[in-house]
């Protein structure tokens, strides 16, 4: 069983807990170190999910983006949530692809939707939105209806088709 | 001349004969992306039996189809595909927009969902409903047969009349307001629509 308090103390992090969900919050600079420790020392061999939260205009928030890694130890069934924060103007994190191959598409999705770059990712392209798309739709400052992208297509009329 | 013909021979115009043949052998191209697609499948199933109208030959190659049924929501990533498939279908061809999403975007008034396929491809018939029942699609098909009988042959008259597109409407005021409220991004290149050719 991972002792989260002792674990985050190694990385100047903090911890919190909500209904058996244990979070280990570490600074972005210590993310690779913490992820690697969780994998090798504590046996969290499965990366269940990578996602992000935009804390723009969130009450009491000090950082713009939170990036969340949900980890699972498939031997013991133990779960932990590793979390870190990044900020504008150029949010970037080291990729955890070298630790968990499953990070490949998940990090691409976070990049596609939030514009957070993952350094060291082998193939950081858009995955959900079209390649030509320029915005990051899940950022809170992106309007729900977009900036007119959905209207921007050639029109085929009856006469020319 | 008619007096000399045997009883089992009819005289008609080629136009009417061709239209009659076309209307009774519509080959749909199912462009089904969502729940409407399931209703479309049900329409083709034995319970509703689209085969009664000669339209059971669903073809998944646009080269063999003359009726496109857009069933379900179309997103901006899929619209170039839809347009390409429409362009690949041989003439004469028709299009049914099935369900609220294909007609208007439905409840998905979001950045990615196209607000009605008729803004970008010509649509002959709209089927309301979310999703429409198979009976509604069958009613639309019968209606479509009527259209085909009347205007089936590509003789230029019908197509010449429809030279203007129904869309897209310029961004509505609400959208302008929303994008102004959003934090401006300096030098944001607008999304470049892909080239179909």
Got the DSSP string for A46-74? Answer: EEEEEEEEE-TT-TT--SSEEEEEEEE-T
**In a 3-state reduction of DSSP, which class is residue A145?**
coil
- The encoded tokens of residue A122 equal 């082998």
- What are the φ and ψ backbone dihedral angles of B80, each rounded to 5 degrees? -60, -35
Closest Cα in chain B, distance from residue A134 (Å) = 6
pTM: 0.79
Partners of residue A148 in chain B, C-beta under 8 Å = 171, 175, 179, 190-191
Q: Is B35 annotated as a binding residue?
A: yes
Question: Across the interface, do A144 and B109 touch by the CB < 8 Å criterion?
Answer: yes
For residues A152 and B119, the answer to whether their CB atoms sit within 8 Å is no
Sheet bearing A65-72, strands edge to edge: A14-18, A21-25, A79-86, A65-72, A46-54
Domain residue ranges of chain A, discontinuous segments joined by +? 4-151
Q: What is the pLDDT along chain B (197 residues), one digit of tens a residue?
A: 667 778 787 777 888 888 888 889 999 999 999 999 999 999 999 999 999 988 888 889 999 998 999 999 999 889 989 999 998 998 888 899 999 999 888 888 888 898 888 888 888 889 999 999 999 999 999 999 988 888 765 544 445 555 554 444 445 666 555 545 443 344 444 455 445 54
Q: What is the pLDDT of residue B11?
A: 76
The arithmetic mean of pLDDT across residues A16-21, rounded, is 88
Sign of CA dihedral B112, B113, B115, B116: positive
B50 Cβ contact partners less than 8 Å away, ≥ 6 residues apart:
B43, B44, B56, B138, B141
> What is the third-level CATH fold of A4-151?
Beta Polymerase; domain 2 (3.30.460)
> What is the third-level CATH fold of B15-151+159-169?
Rossmann fold (3.40.50)
Q: What is the pLDDT of residue B156?
A: 44
Question: Across the interface, do B76 and A150 touch by the CB < 8 Å criterion?
Answer: yes
Closest partner residue to B179 (CB to CB) among A129, A143, A150 is A143
């Amino acid at each position: 069983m991972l002792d989260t308090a002792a674990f985050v103390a190694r990385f100047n992090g903090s911890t919190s807990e909500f209904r058996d969900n244990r979070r280990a919050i570490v600074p972005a600079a210590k993310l690779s170190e913490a992820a690697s420790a969780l994998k090798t020392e504590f046996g969290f061999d499965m990366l269940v999910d990578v996602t992000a939260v935009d804390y723009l205009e969130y009450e009491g928030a000090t950082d713009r983006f939170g990036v969340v890694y949900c980890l699972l130890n498939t031997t013991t069934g133990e779960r932990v949530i590793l979390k870190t924060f990044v900020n504008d103007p150029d949010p970037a994190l080291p990729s955890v692809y070298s630790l968990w191959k499953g990070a490949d598409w998940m990090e691409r999705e976070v990049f596609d939707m939030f514009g957070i770059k993952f350094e060291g990712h082998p193939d950081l392209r858009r995955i959900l939105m079209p390649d030509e798309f320029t915005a990051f739709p899940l950022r809170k400052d992106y309007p729900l209806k977009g900036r007119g992208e959905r209207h921007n297509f050639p029109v085929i009329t009856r006469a020319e088709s | 001349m008619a007096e000399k013909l045997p009883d089992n021979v009819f005289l008609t115009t080629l136009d009417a004969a061709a239209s009659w043949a076309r209307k009774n052998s519509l080959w749909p191209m199912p462009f089904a992306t969502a729940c409407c697609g399931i209703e479309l499948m049900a329409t083709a199933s034995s319970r509703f039996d689209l085969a009664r109208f000669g339209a059971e030959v669903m073809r998944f190659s646009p080269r063999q189809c003359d009726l496109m049924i857009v069933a379900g929501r179309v997103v901006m990533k899929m619209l170039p595909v839809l347009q390409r498939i429409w362009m690949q279908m041989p003439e004469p061809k028709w299009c049914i927009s099935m369900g609220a999403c294909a007609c208007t975007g439905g409840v998905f008034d979001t950045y990615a969902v196209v607000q009605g396929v008729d803004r970008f491809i010509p649509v002959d018939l709209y089927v309301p409903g979310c999703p429409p029942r198979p009976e509604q699609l069958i009613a639309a098909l019968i209606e479509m047969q009527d259209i085909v009988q009347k205007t089936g042959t590509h003789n230029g008259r019908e197509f010449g009349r429809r030279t203007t597109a129904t869309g897209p409407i310029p961004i509505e005021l609400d959208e302008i307001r929303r994008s102004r409220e959003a934090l401006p991004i300096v030098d944001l290149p607008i999304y470049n629509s892909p080239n179909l050719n």
